[in-house]
Amino acid sequence: MKIGVVGGGNGGLTVALTLLNETFERGKKGGFLNSAQDVEIEVYYDPNVPIEKVGQGSLINFVGLLSDVLGMNWYDNPIDATFKTGILYEGWGNQKDKFFHPFPFDSMSIHCSPSKLREYMIEKKVCKFIEQNVEDCNDIDCDYVFDCRGTPTDFSYYNMLKNPLNSVVLGQDNYRDPDQNWTRCSATPDGWCFGIPNKGFTSYGYLYNDKYTTNEDAKANMKEMFGVDATDTLHFKNYLARKPIVNDKVILNGNRLMFIEPLEASSVETYHRWTLLVCEWIFDGRSKREILQDLVTDVEEVQNFVLWHYATGSKYATMFWSEAEEMARSHSYDEVFFDFIREAKGSTMKDLVYDDGGTYAHWYATSFKNWVDGTQPI
């Protein structure tokens, strides 16, 4: 069997790492795959397409992929990774000036450079990388092809996700606080701003809604609040493909599949989880209908958890925050979501640490408890 991955950015690399890990694990267990060699994985990428400029945050599972597939360690650190021990929220809600959303003390994630990661994967020869501009994934001579070619240009085949943001101004400075081992998420009058500590510099992204804030005002506000000059502006939609599998061969993933604003760094984890579901379809014979429903549920839960962050507003009384808070409070959340809220409000953090009550998307009840205690939402 041959599986192609089209796209050499963050989404495509995550898919390739997940496939490599899954084929190896399944090969050890026998069954459909006698060995990892039964599946050939090829990554097609256009070297003329620029890769993401900002440092990328991730969640804990991503570190396991780097260790298991690439054998990475912190001494060599070929991808310029920095520790990510959690997320620091500043100015969110109405309870505290700031609070920390930690990862478990015995676990961590990373911030890293996607371009460095691609270079290292090519150097390690973990799979075949082919320089090619692919215009139609159906033309690739593979049994299955993951289409990770980035943001679509035609959104008529996508459903929109509910979120108050649609634009980001990017920038960076050439300083990294050596004590900052977390993603910084600071509320602003226009939305919020991330600060990602990379090796030798810090990436910033000032997120806003262009209905309320002009691009020039966003640039000026980022400069005033964070001392950073803007280098780029991106306008985006929050969306999910209506048909993630095309002709039983092409599987959309990465930004070609979905996107939601970067709060909680949920996109990489969603790309990983969708790839695992596709492996269940390809290798285990699970029905396509079932995995598609699981994907929709997962993305809807990501949408809900991220949107909920706006339910108590911020320290800023602006039109954006008024509208964002109303959007979050009026949204129809599912009953499972409220079960997690009730559990968080009625339990201590110690109780929840030892509670194996499952997850909502990829968040445990401890994450809900942390947000409840930090913001006091209704």
Structural domains of the chain ordered from first start: 2-333 (3.50.50.60), 334-378 (no CATH)
Report whether 368 contacts 360 (CB < 8 A).
yes
Looking at 30-172, list the stretches that DSSP marks H as alpha helix, in order from N- to C-terminal side.
60-70, 114-124
Helix (H/G/I), strand (E/B), else coil: 46: coil
Q: What is the pLDDT of residue 330?
A: 97
Give all strands (DSSP E) within the chain, no chain letters: 2-6, 40-45, 56-57, 82-84, 86-90, 98-102, 109-112, 128-131, 144-147, 158-160, 167-173, 183-188, 191-197, 202-208, 230-235, 239-241, 245-246, 250-252, 258-259
Q: What is the pLDDT of residue 35?
A: 45
Q: What is the pLDDT of residue 28?
A: 64
Answering whether pTM is above 0.85, one says yes
Q: What is the pLDDT of residue 312?
A: 93
Q: What is the pLDDT of residue 50?
A: 83
The structure tokens 């409070």 sit at 329
Q: What is the pLDDT of residue 30?
A: 52
* DSSP conformation class of 314: B
Which regions of the chain are under pLDDT 70? 28-37, 52-57, 59, 376-378
Q: What is the pLDDT of residue 54?
A: 61
Who contacts 216 (Cβ-Cβ below 8 Å, separation ≥6)? none
Q: What is the pLDDT of residue 32?
A: 46
Q: What is the pLDDT of residue 104?
A: 80
Q: What is the pLDDT of residue 33?
A: 46
How large a percentage of the chain has pLDDT more than 90?
71
Q: What is the pLDDT of residue 178?
A: 87
The structure tokens 């450079």 sit at 113
The structure tokens 């039964």 sit at 38
